Every structure is written in structure tokens, then in C-alpha cells.
Amino acid sequence: MRHHKDWIASYLSLVEGRTEAPLPYSYWSAVATVAAALTRNVWLDELRYKIYPNFLIVLAGRPGVVKKSTTIDECTNILRDVDHTLFGPSEATWQDLCYRLAHEWVRHHRVGKHEDPALDEYIPQCAMTLTLREFGTFLKPTDQPMIEGLTDLWDAGDRVYLKSTKTSGQDSIQNPFLNIIAATTAKWLRDNFSKFTGWGIASRIIFVHCEEEREPIWSPAELIRGGGLPQWQELRSSLQDDLKEIMLLYGECHFTAEAAERAKSWYDNIFLFVSEYGKKIDADPWVCDFLARKQIHVHKLSMVLSASRRDTLQITLDDFNDAVTAVDAVEQEIRRVFSIQLTPTEMAQRENALFAYVKGELSNGLQGRVDKKQLINILATYIDGQSADRIVNLFVRRGILNEETTPRGNFILLPNFSLEGKE
């Protein structure tokens, strides 16, 4: 029997008013802690692949102000005191990490409840959670094998991940589960990580960005003692007891019918939004990367919220909606971390204006299509002919306009417009 109806919510009540850290830091630290307790023991089965509740969470903010590292340690230490073997080293090279995952962090989960344990099946997994006080001491942006390896391990495939080295041979990581929560500054991310737009690793990271601390607290210890130290210790102890129960969960997660219906309609909308957003001239590349795996992030978080609240392995409508809300908030902060295209360049503004003009003409007087030469001549009224030709071809390559070849010449069309029946 659990003490709390919602582990994450109860943890937030433990630190509420007792920390200067922003609430999102405490929330995502709690998410990482529950994920560390679950390892690969729960999953969503999509038949072609499985989704496991591991994360790559990076808390970003000003150094020494918003208490990133302290917040991570305060929460994860609750689980560390229960089972320290769930956690890997604070610092490690990529080679050392792979070696440890393969040889030292192998766990065997018991499947079955027979009276004779010999009849049960034990499934091995290489499961580790890293709590990194400074992301930059671990991740080396110039180490391409490391970036690609982290990308593969995040996927947590049902297979063996092989890492070959010149000195130690081959490390065999069976059924990997690598869960990471780290801290860094937004400046470090901009200076060292911006080049990874379009890379697989970019879409797999949950960036939690906050700049402002909450109310100042000169002494957390005095505040806790003043509010009742025995009560604080009792709440922390009960949270540990519930983590022990969460660690026992095993099996496939399922959406309730109501949650499944909501998840489908939500994904349909996201799919359409991603398609349209990617065609925008000023689309932020980091947002595009994040949107590519937004559904996976929501599903991972839904599993964690379900496990935080009950033992049934069912994802309810509330679980899913709360996951969407939390991931939406992450998406809104991504621009503030990388702020690559918040201020459109003069060229971007001009191209945006030209596309708006072309779209307006095609939608109205030109009835959805126009001879390509005619369109270039129209644009040549505002820009030189060479630039007009380049802009039209650019819009076609981006997919925001279509081009079709006919016996009568090339035509430019709005998407979803067909020449059939229009000749």
C-alpha cells in the first residue's frame, strides 16, 4: 500500500516553500527520479518498437542562481538512499560509461511469482541513471561517437548495443536503459550545442530553462526546523517507501479507452502542425527537432505519471493531459535557450512578405495556379528577375509551393491544388 496518491505531487509539497529553485526544476527532477526507479521494467509496446521511461533532461539557467544541481541532488537522493546501485558515476568518459554499463550496471528483474524461484525468468538489463552537476564535464560536443552513442542508448532498443574500443575490446550493453538529468547554463548550450540542430540528439533532450529564482531563503535548514523537522523527515521517509513499491512494477502500460481517444486526436493535430510549421520561412530549427519526437516525450512522461499515481500500469486521461501540459511548457522555453531566429533577418522578412503576396495572388485572382514564367515576371516588379527565379525555386524546395510540368509548360501551384480537371 502506498502512502501517497501521487509521488511527484507529494514530493513537490515536500520542497514547496523550502527551495529557491523554480518549480519546473523540482518537477523534472521528480520525473527523473521515478524513471530511475522504473528502469526498463515498464514500457509501451508499439509492436515495431517499445517506449521506455528514460529521459535526457537538461536544466538550464544562470550559474549559482536558480539552484539546478542542488535541486537534482535533493530529489534523486531520496531514491539513492533506497538503492544507490541505480545511479552511475558523477563523472565518466564515454568509454568508461559504456564499460560500466556493460559490466557493472547489469540488473536482473524477476519475472513470475512461483513458489520456487528457480521456475521464474530473470531478464537482464543494463540500467543506469546519471545525475550530472555540470553537463559540459560529461558531454563533449566534439566527440561525434559519443553523440551518436547517446542517441542510440536513448532509444533503449530491445537489443544489444556494442561499443568497440582499441584498448578494452568490445563492450556488450544488453537491453540498455540510460536515464540522465543534468545541469548547465543556457550560455554553454548556445556556445557548444547549437551545431546539433538537425541531429538525432537534439530532438531527444528535454531542455528545462528557467532564469528567475523564487523567494529568497537564507537558511533552508532553519525553515525546515521551523515548519516541523519530524514531519519533514516522516514525509521524506514515506516517499522512500513508495519508491520501493514503484520499483516493483513490471509490465506493459496501456492507455484507457478515454486516454487513447484523446492521444489519437492530439497526435493528429500535432502531425498537421508539424507539417505546416516546418514550411515556415522563420521556423526555429530547435522547435522543429523537438516536435519530431514530442509524442515520444509525452508517452514517456505519461508512463511516469501513471507509475507515480498507481500500480495498475494504466495511463488515464489525466495522466496524458498532464504530460501534454508539461511538455508544452518545455517547448515554449526552447526558443529562450537557443534564440536562433527570434529576430528575423531582413532577408527572412523580405522572403516572408513575398510568399504572403504570392499565396494571396494564387488564392484569389490566379485561382490556385500560375504559369511559372508569369509568376517570375510578376515578382520582377518588386525584385530583380534573377532573385525572383531563385525565390520561386526556394519556395518549391521548401514545399510551401508545388511545381508541375505539363505539355504547356511549368506551373506553380498551392499545396493540395491539382491541375487535373483544371486545364
* Residue 420 reports pLDDT greater than 70: no
Of 142-156, 203-217, 372-386, the poorest mean pLDDT is in 203-217
Question: Are the C-beta atoms of residues 20 and 67 closer than 8 Å to each other?
Answer: yes
Torsions phi, psi for 181 (to 5 deg)? -130, 130
Mean pLDDT taken over the chain: 84
* Residue 281 reports pLDDT greater than 80: no
Rounded mean pLDDT of 269-276?
A: 84
- The DSSP result for 288-348, as a single string, is HHHHHTHHHHHHHHHHHHHHHH-SS-EE-HHHHHHHHHHHHHHHHHHHHHH-SSSS--HHH
Strands 254-255 and 314-315: parallel
Residue-wise pLDDT tens digits, 173-185: 888 999 999 998 8
Give the model's pLDDT for residue 341. 40
Show the domains of the chain with their CATH numbers.
7-338 (3.40.50), 346-413 (1.10.10.10)
The residues near 349 (Cβ < 8 Å, ≥ 6 apart) are none
Give the model's pLDDT for residue 222. 73
Question: Are the C-beta atoms of residues 120 and 109 closer than 8 Å to each other?
Answer: no
List the grid coordinates of 5: 496518491
Give the model's pLDDT for residue 64. 64
Residue-wise pLDDT tens digits, 27-69: 999 999 999 999 999 999 999 899 999 999 999 887 765 678 8
Q: How far apart are CA 12 and CA 294, in angstroms?
A: 25
> pTM for this one?
0.76
Q: How far apart are CA 274 and CA 276, in angstroms?
A: 6
Give the model's pLDDT for residue 342. 41
The pLDDT confidence band at residue 285, using thresholds 50, 70 and 90, is confident
Residue-wise pLDDT tens digits, 322-369: 999 999 998 887 776 665 444 556 777 788 888 888 888 887 766 778
**Who wins on pLDDT, 255 or 407?**
255
Across 185-308, where does the E strand assignment appear?
206-209, 251-252, 254-255
* Residue 421 reports pLDDT greater than 50: no
